[in-house]
Structure 1
Amino acid sequence: MATQISSSFFWKRTRMLMPRKNIVQLLLRHGADVHVQTPQFPPALQGAASKGQNEIVELLLDNGADIDAHDQQYPTALQSAVADCNKQLVESLLDKGASINAQGGFLPPPVNIASANGNRSILKLFLNRYMNAQVQGEILARALLVAAFHGRRRMVEFLIQNGADLNQQVQSSGTFLLPSGEILITALQAAAGGGHKAIIKLLINSGADIGASDHRSPTPLQAAVTGGHKDAIQLLLDNGAAVDDHNQHCPTAIQRAIINGDRRTVELLLCRGADANLQVGQLAPPLYIAIAMGHRGIVQLLLDHDTYVDTQCQGYGTALMRRCIDIILLSMPNQYSRRLDALMLESRRDRMAGSNFAN
């Protein structure tokens, strides 16, 4: 027993004193499998990369470790190196052929990580290793989208100086979503969705299309309204953003503001000429939405701006308004429900009086 204790103590002391690289070399000489993975621990390569053990990473690669190995739980060695801002290891992995597109675990692709962290030196490594114009363009566009979303102004400036296409649509970006679940595919959309006023201004002054979108994504103005970023909304409107711009799948800015219950933004959009009667896609007109969601202040605001109470609404009809009111009446205290009913009746009476006077 005494011998066993002494032996155990000896090996513990040896492991403490022996450099880690030597231990790995010893294990490899005795047949250790570099690809083994357990539920509790990552493969050796990913583990070494995540701890910044550059020499051990080199040793494992020299002994057959898969440089791009990853799964749903663990990222690639390159992802880990970029996330740790380990430029030396990033350079070494690129020299050995690591892919900048391989992605595992919960980390985004390496380009996205470098851009989000504002790490220009690592991004330069990627650009210098991929001299093909198309590949470089894709790297720049993706990095620009990420930097704009995270508010990395210096990175945005660096990318613009290096020729990034401000209006290129990035279909596989990470993916960046608004709270509504909509995908952001241009840098200006991303900056607006994040509410980064300085970057919005920089992109617009550099030539970004203020109305850029596609059939699946919002315009920058719609993205800013969805995020509730009032300064960004004001800036975009001041630079000519179309207040009623929409497509088949994307609601207008004012519909979004009403869904958010954002009375100040609704008022701003109305002052800028937003059509309060416009029905888009699967959503009802603004007044219907405001009533259905119980935003009494916005209902009053819309009525004051000559919103048509009895206009037939495609797919909904005026009966929906009555149904919406019924739903609200069930959930509101009596004094509020009576006030809303009176508000609607008063609006109808005023319109009838105005019509009779005109005749």
Structure 2
Amino acid sequence: MDFTECYGDTVSSVAVAARSGRRKRVRRLIKRGFSVDCPDNRGWNALHEAAAAGSEECVQEIVSAADAGSSRSGAEYVNSLTHEGESACYLAAQRGHLAVLRLLLKTHANINQLTNDLSCPLYAAVDGGHKEVVELLVSEGAEVDRTHTASCWTCLHQSVYKGHSEIVRILVDVCNLEALDDHKISPLFVAAQYGQQECLEILVNAGANVNTQAADLATPLLIASQEGHQACVDFLLDHGADPNRACSHEWPQLAIHAAAEFGHIGVLRRLIAATDRVCDRGDGMVSPLYLAVHSHQSKSVETLLREGYSPDAQVCSDILGVQSPLSLALSRTSSEPCSESVGLLVAAGATLSEEDWMYGLATDKPDLLQLILEHRRIPRQEALTRDCSVPKHRGKSVLKLQELRELLCVALNQVHFAACWLPLLLKAGLEPSLLLQPHMLEQADSEVLNYLLEFVNWSNLSPPLKRILDRRRAGKTWEPRPHLDSIPRLSHMCRLQVRSVLGPDLLMRTGVVQRLPVPSPLHVFLQFRDIPEATYTHSPPSSPLSNRIQRHSSTHQHRHVL
């Protein structure tokens, strides 16, 4: 930068000539008595200018003149500093001027002089990637393990960070391979973090510790997995990096968690093969599924499930504040669209708890319940009397008895949303008689109640249920459809019998009815699709869904219906 116009009164004539590398002019000016030691507004004198410009001849003229006529000694002049603490030696090393640097070192330049920001000639040469300058400084005895910058990085840290592999080869023979910065990060950790594979290989081959841990216990393998540096992850694993080493003070975080959280699928697959499966279900551990769900990495969720990780994982209420990966995924649906992770977990057979059902039933938006029912089948009525695992049917997992109990418990406590969830459940094959409970008949809207009664033989309800209907009619809180006052028609009795024989799940969810030897116009009737659905007319509760779930958990009563 040329300051002659702005600062003509403070830039010496010799410095201007040296900046341009004009040796003859520098010599003439010196002979005429011009000073070589006049600093400008930056504290730069003629030697600084010549060193920065890389003019060996100008440096020689200026140094000779300083020895002959300066008020300061030659060594003192050679080591004079700018306002930033930069020496001529530093400026030459920073810019890679090898010949100038050799000359300055012969004149007793301080090879280890620090600048105001704690840099030095060697660190500057490393940063600039000047290999030959680095070789010279190292051979001349420059301090190689001194810390520089506010982060306490050494020259080896910086060379690795910049990816100057040839310089790294020089430094690994003279530097402390395990030098740590203020976060206890070693040069090898830096190589893994920034994906400097060649530098990583040089360090490992030189004997650097692949399992070094930073102050927060992070390892090179963890940071490489987090950043998605596949080649570095592969190299570390092949050279002894431990994928099962805990990398956090707060909970047993492993490298596989970082890969899952940031969606690096190639890295994740490699770590799945290398990591102990105790992290999947072990007490006190955290399944990587939690991290994948939390960060909306559906590809990670899909990969983990396909590789056999449990959709239920372990309970992590103490560590993460959630019961299961599915609970974590559902907790976000109140403010976000239903995540893809929910569908993946449900399809994989994740257990649905009472709280999970709340997200699908305690709302006027049926999307989540619809998604669950796409992947989970309601069991046949004869399976409800035994608590056993039911195999998948046509790729769909069957709800366990406990899951169905909790579904009905939540449904009967969320009757004011029944217009939204009742049609879905009945079309999915739920036995409607399971909902013929006093609470349902007492609280359901008139339309909802009529819709439910259309799926049963309303003439043979139990006396207690008939009394509830009579009270509601008398109180004008229920207006039955006209035909509900009559004995059911034979056609309705026939379709009830067909449903009883086939089972509501087959009748409502499959095409079995199309294979019956009956006229095709009857298909809609036999599947109860002729019944008009109730319309949801309530305003949604003002409290957030999370508050309703908490209130439900603390105040509801189980309604034993199975």
Q: TM tier, shorter chain?
A: 0.5 to 0.7
For the residues of structure 1 that align with 2:157 and 2:151, how far apart are their CA atoms? 13
Write out aligned runs for 1:115-154 (5 A). Answer: 115-130=160-175, 135-136=176-177, 142-154=186-198
Matched, 1:69 2:114: yes
Residue 227 of structure 1: aligned partner: 262
Q: Which amino acid aligns with 2:349?
A: D
Match of 2:309 among 249, 273, 297: 273
Structure 2: segments with no counterpart, 5+ residues: 1-7, 24-54, 388-562
* Map of 1:187 onto structure 2: 220
Distance in 2 (CA, whole Å) between partners of 1:325 and 1:21 is: 83
Over 3 Å counting, the alpha-carbon distance change for 1:352 and 1:308 in structure 2 is farther
Secondary structure (helix, strand or coil) at the match of 1:282 reads coil
Q: Name which of 302, 323, 340 aligns with 2:368.
A: 340
Match of 1:111 in 2: 156
- Rg larger in structure: 2
Residue 81 (str. 1) matches residue 125 (str. 2): yes
8 Å contact from structure 1 (residues 61, 67) kept in 2: no
- Code of the residue aligned with 1:189 in structure 2: it is L
| 1:37-56 alignment, distance < 5 Å | 37-38=82-83, 43-44=86-87, 46-54=90-98
Query: Is the contact between residue 211 and residue 242 of structure 1 (CA under 8 Å) also seen in structure 2?
Result: no
Name the stretch that deviates more: 117-126 or 297-306.
117-126
Q: 1:201 is aligned with what amino acid?
A: D
> Aligned residue for 1:262?
297
Q: 1:42 to 1:241 in 2, by over 3 A?
A: farther
Displacement of 1:79 in angstroms is: 2.1
Report the TM-score, using the length of structure 2 for normalisation.
Answer: 0.46
Query: Deviations for 1:106-140, whole angstroms, at most 9, x for unmatched residues?
Result: 8953212322444444334333335xxxx44559x
Q: Deviations over 1:245-271 (max 9, x none)?
A: 699999541121112211121122123
| Counterparts of 2:297 and 2:109, CA distance in 1 | 58
Residue 244 of structure 1: SS of its match in structure 2? helix
CA distance 1:231–1:184, shift in 2 (3 Å): farther
- Name the structure 2 match of 1:90: 134
Provide, for residues 309-347 of structure 1, a one-character-per-residue CA deviation record: whole Å limited to 9, x for no partner. 436xxxxxx4x9969999xx8xxxx8xx44136557999
**Following the alignment from structure 2 to structure 1, what is the Cα–Cα distance between the partners of residues 153 and 379?**
56
Which residue of the partner structure matches residue 399 of structure 2? Answer: none
Counterpart residue identity of residue 347, structure 2: D
1:42-91 Cα shifts (integer Å, max 9, x gaps)? 6235444322234555638966758252455x633322211222233223
Give distance in 2, aligned partners of 1:106 and 1:144.
16
Equivalent residue for 1:21? 59
- Superposed counterparts of 1:306-325, under 5 Å: 306-310=349-353, 318=355
Q: Which amino acid aligns with 1:98?
A: E
Whole-angstrom distance in 2 between the partners of 1:339 and 1:262: 21
CA RMSD of aligned residues (A): 4.5
TM-score norm. by structure 1 comes to 0.68
Amino acid corresponding to residue 173 of structure 2 in structure 1: N
Pick one of 320, 326, 329 that aligns with 1:282.
320
One-letter amino acid matched to 1:194 = E
- 2:114–2:120: 8 Å Cα contact kept in structure 1? yes
Following the alignment from structure 1 to structure 2, what is the Cα–Cα distance between the partners of residues 354 and 61? 98
Whole-Å separation in 2 of the counterparts to 1:67 and 1:52: 16
Counterparts of 1:223 and 1:42 in 2: how far apart (Å)?
Answer: 42
Higher relative contact order (CA 8 A, sep 6+): 1
> Quick check: 1:356 aligned with 2:384?
yes
CA distance in 2, matches of 1:248, 1:60: 63
Is the 1:50–1:81 contact (alpha carbons within 8 Å) kept by the matching residues of 2?
A: yes
- Report deviation, 1:232: 0.8
Q: One-letter code of the match for 2:309?
A: G
Whether the 8 Å CA contact 2:293–2:329 is kept in 1: the answer is yes
Structure 1 269/142 Cα, relative in aligned 2: closer, same or farther at 3 Å?
same
- More deviation, 146-155/28-37: 28-37
Match of 1:206 in 2: 239
Distance 1:48 1:250 in 2: 55
Work out the CA distance in 1 between the residues paired with 2:150 and 2:380. Answer: 64
Q: 1:178 maps to what in 2?
A: none
Aligned to 2:277: 242
Q: Is the 8 A contact 1:215 1:247 kept in 2?
A: no
Verify the 8 A CA contact 1:115 1:123 in the aligned structure 2: yes
